[in-house]
Structure 1
Amino acid sequence: MKTISVIVPCYNEEETINLYYDAMTKVKNEKNKFNFEYWFIDDGSSDKTLKVLKELQAKHSDEVHYISFSRNFGKEAALYAGINEVKGEYTAVMDVDLQDPPEMLEEMFDTLEEGEYDCVGTARMDREGENPIISFFSNSFYGVINKMSQTKIVSGARDFRLMTRQMVDAILSMTEYNRFSKGIFSWVGFKTKYLPYKNRKRVAGETSWNFWKLFKYAVTGIIDFSERPLMFATWMGVFFSGISILAIIGIIIRKLVFPLSSVTGWASMVSIILLIGGIQLLSIGILGEYIGKIFLEVKRRPIYIVKEKK
């Protein structure tokens, strides 16, 4: 019987861990097709997440393992930590809040067993129950990044997926500090099938994601997998430089033809200066984002630091 290694990032999830484990155990016992190897990653939680993980590991030491970070490093670091540890023939990435349906693992497993695909991912058909504003910007993000990047991401795609060992090894070889897993999953290639499902609410607790965190995550995805923002800044610079040259020529001609004309248009001039200044600051900001990412990469700091592991 093959083993599925399950990577489960946890941040302040004391209420959901046991519920998740019970749901996964029920699926395993009902299907009797695979075994599970769990890698719970405590991402610097401030509640009793680590205590619950220790108790669960003590009861089920044959299949439950955990890693506890020295502080909160983020979900991307947690996923990479899990990928470094898995030993099973297949690897699954799941959220502990049961928004990723465990019962889908059977179909995902059967699909990989057929040998045609290297990965089975999931994509939400809707965002029922979510904040409408967050849903709007989340849906818009996929359209933007797919237009700006050659690495395509399926709209509504989740991190929840089942992968072969070969694909996991490919992801493991990508050691960059700035990580955007949805893009990495797509960039490494391999044949992937997506299964649609209806959105589910958390089984307990509250999400740690908010609009600002999602926005920063989206910016990271765009910068990590597209150079288009740099091209945008360049072309805006070229465009307004051309406009400026034409304006200078017009001023010179006007002065030659109407040498005694009075100076007018101060309001419009100030508006133009403010517009061009704003565009310059925007371009510098875009450039700064890329330089900032380079700055973090060249430091070669560890992606995460382990405080405790078992």
Structure 2
Amino acid sequence: MSQETISLVVPCYNEEATIEIFYHEVLKYEKQMPAQLEFCFVDDGSSDRTIAILRKLAAQDSRVHYVSFSRNFGKEAGLYAGLELATGDYVATMDVDLQDPPYLLPEMYRIVKEEGYDCVATKRSTRKGEPVVRSFFARMFYRIINRMSDTEIVDGARDYRFMSRQMVNAIIEDGEYNRFSKGIFSWVGFNTKWLSYENIERSAGQTKWSFWGLFKYSIEGILAYSTVPLYISSFIGVALFILSIIAFIFIIIKKLVWGDPVQGWASMVCILLFLGGIILLCLGIIGLYVSKIYLETKKRQIYIVKEKK
């Protein structure tokens, strides 16, 4: 019987300071798993020495493979490309900065092999070391999306997962352009066990996620797995229409009974600005969904490979 293989999918963007640290740290736990490791690095259009380091590792170790994008396509594209590159019986998706601790890999492998799970997912039990404002908005995002969507996304969930080949194939077949992996992992189903660990600082380098980038990513997630914003905009429209009818009737009765002229131009301007803002908000929500439809119908490539090994 041939030895099983575990593929490690590792997206990289300007990570010259962390790649070799990650590689050597993973090798420390190789002997604890009775399986062959395969490294699947994805260079997401880096502008530093990331690709040079990947070439060096691939030349030294035949188990190291990589793809390099023609430009930066984003982490979602990187994960998808890595899953397509991976050939292992099992696949783990990890961050190269060691915030996804490699010491969990042997336990994840054991759980899938012995306990009958298709996937072992991870989540942070704490957000120690993370800015307070960022932590607050992250928690709010998970609360909002789980109220809006039928697809559950666990608070603190990481992209660090250990999956069976069957589950990976299901994810690859979901070839949508606007990808939100946390939602896709949950949507495809399969038996999943969760492991918790405390937040870990990066081994080196700086995070590539800004607050604005995370905000846009959260909007992507809500739009990808919920149509509730459309219902909310419709509800607001109906509520304001009913309110305007009531106000119109009140003004007519007031004129007929008391003979008061209609006054309050300043308040009228405020009301018009308010209604205009609500209309633009609702149109914006609809526009975001239309833009997603537009991008999906164009059938563009999720990523373009410049170099592969």
TM-score range, shorter chain: over 0.9
Aligned counterpart, 2:308: 309
User: What is the Cα deviation at residue 131 of structure 1?
Assistant: 1.5
Give the counterpart letter for 1:77 in structure 2: A
1:237 aligns with 2:264: no
Aligned counterpart, 1:20: 22
Unaligned runs of 5+ in 2: none
The DSSP-based 3-state class of the residue aligned with 1:282 is helix
Aligned counterpart, 1:272: 271
Contact 2:11 2:75 in 1 (8 A): yes
Contact 2:33 2:106 in 1 (8 A): no
User: What is the Cα deviation at residue 84 of structure 1?
Assistant: 1.0
Deviation digits for residues 197-252 of structure 1 (CA, Å, limit 9, x no counterpart): 00000000001101000000000000000000000000000000000111112222
Alignment of 1:289-304 (within 5 A): 289-304=288-303
The DSSP-based 3-state class of the residue aligned with 1:249 is helix
Alignment of 1:62-141 (within 5 A): 63-141=63-141
Give the counterpart letter for 1:157 in structure 2: A
Alignment of 1:27-66 (within 5 A): 27-29=29-31, 31-61=32-62, 63-66=63-66
Aligned counterpart, 1:176: 176
| Backbone CA RMSD of aligned residues | 1.0
CA distance in 2, matches of 1:263, 1:97: 66
Unaligned runs of 5+ in 1: none
Report how many residues are paired. Answer: 307
* Change in 2 beyond 3 A, CA 1:231/1:32: closer
TM-score normalised to structure 2 length: 0.97
Deviation digits for residues 164-187 of structure 1 (CA, Å, limit 9, x no counterpart): 011011101101100000000000
User: What is the Cα deviation at residue 115 of structure 1?
Assistant: 4.5
Alignment of 1:126-275 (within 5 A): 126-259=126-259, 261-275=260-274
Give the counterpart letter for 2:273 in structure 1: L
CA distance in 2, matches of 1:265, 1:136: 41
Aligned-pair identity (%)? 56
CA distance in 2, matches of 1:223, 1:3: 36
* Change in 2 beyond 3 A, CA 1:253/1:35: same
User: What is the Cα deviation at residue 45 of structure 1?
Assistant: 0.3
- Larger deviation, residues 293-302 vs 250-259: 250-259
TM-score normalised to structure 1 length: 0.97
CA distance in 1, matches of 2:285, 2:152: 22
Deviation digits for residues 111-155 of structure 1 (CA, Å, limit 9, x no counterpart): 000242110000001111111111111111111100010000111
Give the counterpart letter for 2:275 in structure 1: I
User: What is the Cα deviation at residue 32 of structure 1?
Assistant: 4.3
The DSSP-based 3-state class of the residue aligned with 1:23 is helix
The DSSP-based 3-state class of the residue aligned with 1:206 is coil
CA distance in 2, matches of 1:275, 1:201: 45
CA distance in 2, matches of 1:256, 1:129: 66
CA distance in 1, matches of 2:35, 2:99: 21
Give the counterpart letter for 2:238 in structure 1: V
Give the counterpart letter for 1:43 in structure 2: D
1:288 aligns with 2:287: yes
The DSSP-based 3-state class of the residue aligned with 2:15 is coil
CA distance in 2, matches of 1:80, 1:101: 21
The DSSP-based 3-state class of the residue aligned with 1:205 is coil
CA distance in 1, matches of 2:266, 2:219: 35
User: What is the Cα deviation at residue 264 of structure 1?
Assistant: 1.6
1:3 aligns with 2:5: yes
Contact 2:8 2:93 in 1 (8 A): yes
CA distance in 2, matches of 1:278, 1:18: 51
Give the counterpart letter for 1:298 in structure 2: T
User: What is the Cα deviation at residue 266 of structure 1?
Assistant: 2.0
CA distance in 2, matches of 1:115, 1:165: 16
CA distance in 2, matches of 1:308, 1:243: 60
CA distance in 2, matches of 1:116, 1:23: 28
CA distance in 1, matches of 2:261, 2:98: 72
